[in-house]
Every structure is written in C-alpha cells, then in structure tokens.
C-alpha cells in the first residue's frame, strides 16, 4: 500500500518533469502568463499615474492581475495535450491521479514563478508599503495554491470542449471566488499592518478551500480524464 502510494507520487513527479521539459522547449505558457501580467500591470500603472492608491484598491488590483494571468496561461497544461494529440498517449501510460498531481504541481510552480517576478514589480510601481510582509506572503502563497488548483481542475474540463479560451475564465471565476474574496481581504489587512492573528480566518478559508478543491479533484479527475 505504502509502496503503491509512493509510486503514484513518483509518477506524478515524472509527469511534472516531462511538462517542465516540454514547457522549457516551447515556453508557450510561460510567455503567455508573464507577458499578460506585465502588460496588465503596465496598463494599470500608466492609467493611474503618480496617484498613490489605498490598500482597498491595491489588494483587488493585485488579485485581478493574478487571476487573469492565471486564466491566460494555466489552461495550457491540458490544452496542449489535447491539441497535440498526446492526451491519449498519456492516458495509456499512468493513472489519472498521477497525471493530475503532476500537472497541478506544474501550474503551482508556474504561478509562483510569476509571482516572484510580478509582485516586487507591482509593489515598486504602485509604491505600496506592506506593513506585515510575513502575513502578506503567506496569504499570497496559500491563495496561489488555491487559484492554481481551481485552474488545473477547470483546465482539464475545458481542454475537452470547444472555445477553450473564453470558457476557461467563465468557468473558473465562480469557483475561484472564495480565493479571490479571502485573498483580497487578507492582502488588504496585511498591507495595512494587520497581524497574523487578524488575518487568521482568511488564512483558514484559503487553506481549507485548497484542501477541498484538491480532494475533489482527485475524486473527480478520473471522470474528466477518461472518455
């Protein structure tokens, strides 16, 4: 049993490495997500000019950038397999849950690497003072896991439909709302110097939401993946 679950995680890791390798060659998703984020950020910064915004506006702006950047790049992980007709190849190689976990990990890493770049730039461009950096990072960290989890699950669904691009955001938005609402609320608290204790309920919601979505994904993914 232990050996089986280990091999199941090991295979997820192999799928992850493969996707990393393929992405490294084509850089499609990376380009999409980074360029989208930077374009949006620049557009916002341009239109606002030198005005200093309050945290009530900065926190939603940050999460809107993260959400729509995710929507521009995170579906690619499944769409690529369907479009290049490698999905059936993959279906014959390993169990659905290993595939899901591998791709989930890939999307999380992709979103994290975006954030490592875009958040410092956002803070600098908008002149934001984050009073509780620890809480801020924790909220972003858990929130991103939630966002990437929803995106991966919905990506699996839309990769089998037509009009994939438009559908992705439409389907993801209502499901990601708990992440967005709690993430925005927590981020705003952290920018204004709220302590970890004050943000605890947001952290709890983000954390439990991610766990619920991942569990649900492992239960439902086989239905999505197998035709």
Partner 1 sequence: MWTVKAQEISQKFNQRHIFEGISFEIQSGNSLVITGPNGSGKTTLIKIICQLLRPTSGHLIIKNEENQIDAHQIYPYLGLVGPYLQLYNNLSAFENYTFFARIRSLPVDMKYFRQLMAQLGLKGREFDELRTFSSGMLQRMKYVMAIMHKPRILILDEPTANLDEAGSEIVYGIMELQKKENILILATNEPEEVKFGEKKLVLHS
Partner 2 sequence: MILDKSWWKYLLAVWMTVVILGAFLYAPPAKGLGETARIIFFHVPTAWLATLAFLISAVGSIQYLRTQEKKYDIWAYSAAQIGLIFAILATVTGSIWAKKIWQSYWNWDPRETSIFILLLIYAAYFALRSAIDIEEQKAKLAAVYSIIAFVTVPFFIFIIPRVYESLHPDPLINPEGEIKMDSRMLQVFINSLLSFTLLFFWMLRLKIETMKIHFKIEQSLSE
Q: Interface residues with partner 1 (CB under 8 A)? A: 7, 11, 14-15, 17-18, 21-22, 25-26, 84-86, 88-89, 91-95, 226-227
Residue 9 in contact with residue 96, Cβ under 8 Å? no
Residue (189 or 224) nearer to partner 1, CB: 224
Comparing CA positions, the residue from 92, 142, 95, 118 lying closest to residue 40 is 118
SS3 195: coil
Q: Is 61 in the site for partner 2 (CB under 8 A)?
A: no
Phi and psi, residue 194, nearest 5°:
-65, 145
- Distance, CA of 79 to CA of 85 (rounded, Å): 10
Residue (14 or 216) nearer to partner 1, CB: 14
SS3 120: helix
Q: Is 170 in the site for partner 2 (CB under 8 A)?
A: yes
Phi and psi, residue 132, nearest 5°:
-120, 80
| Residues in 95-154 at the binding interface with partner 2, rule: CB under 8 A | 153-154
Residue 185 in contact with residue 125, Cβ under 8 Å? no
Comparing CA positions, the residue from 114, 133, 111 lying closest to residue 199 is 133
Residue (93 or 109) nearer to partner 1, CB: 93
| 93 contact choice in partner 2, partner 1, none (CB below 5 to 8 Å, kind-dependent) | partner 1
Total length of the chain? 227
Could you tell me which stretch among 16-24, 36-44, 109-117, 177-185 binds partner 2 (CB under 8 A)?
A: 177-185
Q: For the chain, state the CA radius of gyration.
A: 18
| Interface characters, 180-219, with partner 2 (x: CB under 8 A) | -xx--x---------------x---x---x--xx--x---
- Distance, CA of 51 to CA of 68 (rounded, Å): 24
Residue (34 or 67) nearer to partner 2, CB: 67
Residue (94 or 160) nearer to partner 2, CB: 160
| Residues contributing to the site for partner 2 (CB under 8 A) | 153-154, 157-158, 160-163, 167, 170-171, 173-175, 177-178, 181-182, 185, 201, 205, 209, 212-213, 216, 220, 223-224, 227
């Amino acid at each position: 049993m232990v050996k089986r679950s280990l091999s199941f995680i090991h295979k997820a890791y192999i799928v992850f490495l493969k996707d990393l390798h393929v992405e490294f060659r084509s850089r499609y998703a990376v380009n999409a997500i980074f360029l989208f984020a930077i374009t949006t950020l620049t557009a916002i910064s341009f239109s606002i000019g030198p005005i200093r915004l309050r945290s009530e506006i900065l926190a939603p702006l940050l999460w809107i950038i993260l959400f729509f950047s995710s929507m521009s790049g995170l579906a690619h992980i499944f769409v690529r397999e369907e479009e290049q007709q490698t999905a059936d190849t993959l279906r014959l190689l390993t169990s659905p849950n290993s595939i899901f976990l591998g791709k989930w990990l890939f999307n999380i890493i992709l979103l994290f690497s975006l954030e490592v770049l875009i958040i410092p730039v956002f803070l600098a461009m908008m002149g934001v003072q984050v009073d509780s950096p620890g809480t801020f990072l924790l909220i972003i960290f858990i929130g991103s896991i939630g966002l990437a989890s929803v995106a991966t699950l919905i990506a699996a669904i839309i990769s089998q439909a037509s009009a994939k691009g438009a559908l992705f955001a439409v389907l993801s938005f209502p499901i990601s709302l708990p992440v967005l609402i709690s993430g925005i609320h927590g981020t705003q608290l952290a920018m204004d110097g709220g302590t970890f204790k004050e943000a605890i309920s947001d952290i709890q919601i983000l954390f439990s939401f991610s766990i619920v979505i991942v569990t649900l994904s492992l239960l439902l993914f086989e239905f999505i993946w197998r035709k």
